[in-house]
Amino acid sequence: MKGSSDKTLKKELKELIIEECDLDITADDINDDDALFGSDSPIGLDSVDALQISIAVQNKFGVVITDSKVLRRVMKSINTFADYLRPE
């Protein structure tokens, strides 16, 4: 199953982001296609948040993302992030 079709995986990612970035929101407040970073993002994550999330993803899913350009592309939205972690 492709990651963006997996509601459980997407909820896990949302909860991981909320916990790692100490956000005062719920998983339901993050839409699957919303930008996670930048001025277009309703939650406004920054580069420090990206680092924290990437370390948490490495610990939880065993996926290492060291290239910052790849990280920005992967973490564009919850859907792109889920598809990267589970492409099929």
Kindly state the tokens that stand for 73: 């592309």
What's the rounded mean pLDDT across residues 29-41? Answer: 93
57 contacts 18 by C-beta, under 8 angstroms = no
Non-local CB neighbours of 29 within 8 Å, separated by 6+ positions:
42, 43
Question: Residue 29's pLDDT is what?
Answer: 95
The percent of residues in the chain predicted with pLDDT above 70, rounded, is 100
pLDDT score of 14 more than 90: yes
CATH number given to 3-85 = 1.10.1200.10
State the burial class of residue 4 (Cβ atoms within 10 Å of its Cβ: 0-12, 13-18, 19+): buried
87 contacts 5 by C-beta, under 8 angstroms = no
pLDDT score of 5 more than 80: yes
The reported pTM is: 0.91
d(CA 35, CA 52): 17
Give the tens place of pLDDT for each residue, 48-79: 999 999 999 999 999 998 888 888 899 999 99
